[in-house]
Chains A and B, each alone.
With several copies, the nearest count.
Chain A
Amino acid sequence: MLNIEEIRSQFPILQTRVYGRPLVYLDNGATTHKPLVVLNKLQEAYTSFNSNVHRGVHALSDKASVEYEGARETVKRFINAPLVSEIIFTSGATASINLVAFSFGERYISAGDEVIISEMEHHANIVPWQMVCKRKGAVLKIIPVLDDGTLDMERYRELFSSRTRIVAVTHVSNALGTINPVREITRIAHDNGVPILIDGAQAIQHGNVDVQDIDCDFYLFSGHKVYGPTGIGVLYGKSEYLNEMPPWQGGGDMVDRVTLEETTFNELPFKFEAGTTNFIGAVGMAAALDYLKSTGIEEIGLREKELLDYATRKLEGIEGLRIIGTAPEKIPIISFLLEKVHMYDAGMILDKMGIAVRTGTQCAQPLINRFGTDGVIRASMTFYNTMEEIDALAAGIVKVKEMME
């Protein structure tokens, strides 16, 4: 069992007060907070080995390079990737997807080809594919979402054609919390001879991710959503694809030989890491992953299940509250609507009580619109949240309703 008080003491920002009240942070889906080990690692990096990696012969640069490559090892182990050269550091989940959409697109997508995404995707896993489809004259096919917030697997199976080039689906829905059956989704893609990208931005922080078990061809996430720093992300890709794909960005370190006429590129993973990477961000993120491992991924999963169950029961008990997204497998995200109360009013008032939720389309307009609304109120929890905070949320919602009537 996790000692939540001890855990909370590791996250300095959780002690913040807003408008004189204790902060109740239920916006973890947008970004997570950072434990002291991460903050200390960043401080250590800047004060003891800040120096450009891969570049210098000198001791500081060597130290920085060792730390940076060590972070790559940590990521590889965390998601059980086969090869360390298949781990590419990017500036975030969005950049990871854009990299694949561009580079995979350049190599494998032509006019008339098809790309499959789902109705459940975050904008980050919609817009890059729309852009590449537009550039290449390809067609976007959509897996619909059922009323409980799960994917329509039957329709999914029917979407494949001989022109399907790639599938891109989220592991976990940021708006509804639905955990998708990514192993099965991957198997179906592979049965059709099609590679698959899984957007892990909302999955990595909540449980075990094993890319070999899933067998996906690409997997990605952001550091800031997994208790790490901003400005860093990961792309895992199978080398059989990464080796074939042209680089996305050009610059230092990703090259082998440069002449003004022609340039040859470095090997993996460097081919996809142009310029000075956020090596300090990478090292900080690795510290966050180590922190999760040592806290216990299993325990975190159990704790979050408890939080979700408790919060679901509590909120279901409030009259006029409708939960959107009732899949059997969820991470602790609850999106809901209040009868007769505009989400924005609710958000504003909850804020003044110190309760941070997110309101709006959750960067998933198509999904939100599919549920017949412009936006929802989303409470997204993580293991450092408490039952008392859920009580505060429920009480806050009741108060909002009273004020509005």
Chain B
Amino acid sequence: MTIEEKQEKIVEEFSVFDDWMDRYNFLIDLGKDLDVLSEKDKNRDYLIEGCQSKVWLKPDLREGRVYFSADSDAIITRGIVALLVRVLSGHTPAEIMDADLSFIDRIGLRQNLSPTRSNGLLAMVKQMKLYAIAYSSKMKG
């Protein structure tokens, strides 16, 4: 699936919820299902610090594609992280760099991304793109 297709899929999944609680329950379930990072990987190198919840993001380049694993100490954040990983993981650096993550808006998570909510989510998207840029120049270099 392309990044676009994955986003469409997520939007579709969320469209059945007309209530915030259901959406959160879904995010919580996603969070629970996300593979945890090993304690060893939850280190400063992989930490993206928001003010209130911690996010660890670990990238891996295999055969020209980036695979992310991630974790958070807050479960809703884990859920959101899970969505981002699902959308971006397994794509090429170029695809990730160019990705327009419209699903965030469309499932109503935009406010969770606003720079004024100190949950590090914006920082996370930024970090994923930065890794992609780094890999991309490495591959060229």
Contact = CB atoms under 8 A, between A and B. Distances in A.
B28 A404 contact: yes
A190 interface: no
A345 B51 CA distance: 13
Nearest to A84: B115
Interface string B7-32: 00000000000001100110010000
A260 interface: no
Contacts of A352: 20-21, 24
A65 B112 CA distance: 12
A403 B19 CA distance: 14
A375 B116 contact: no
Interface residues of B, number: 21
Contact of A66 (B28, B52, B77, B116): B116
B20 A345 contact: no
B98 to A, nearest CB: 24
B116 A69 contact: yes
Contacts of B53: 342, 344
Contacts of B20: 19, 352
Interface string B28-68: 10000000000000000000000111000000000000000
A57 interface: yes
Q: Which of A69, A343, A344 has the most CB of B within 10 A?
A: A344
Contacts of B117: 57, 62, 65
A43 to B, nearest CB: 22
Contacts of A69: 115-116
A344 B77 contact: yes
A349 interface: yes
A403 B28 contact: yes
A352 B77 CA distance: 15
A69 B75 CA distance: 28
A344 B74 contact: yes
B52 A359 contact: yes
Contacts of A19: 20
Contact of B75 (A54, A62, A65, A345): A345
A66 B115 CA distance: 9
A62 B52 contact: no
B137 interface: no
Given A54-B116, A359-B52, A375-B52, A62 B111 contact: yes
A344 B116 contact: no
A360 interface: yes
8 contacts: A57-B52, A57-B119, A66-B116, A68-B116, A343-B52, A345-B28, A349-B21, A404-B75
Interface of B: 20-21, 24-25, 28, 51-53, 73-77, 111-112, 114-119
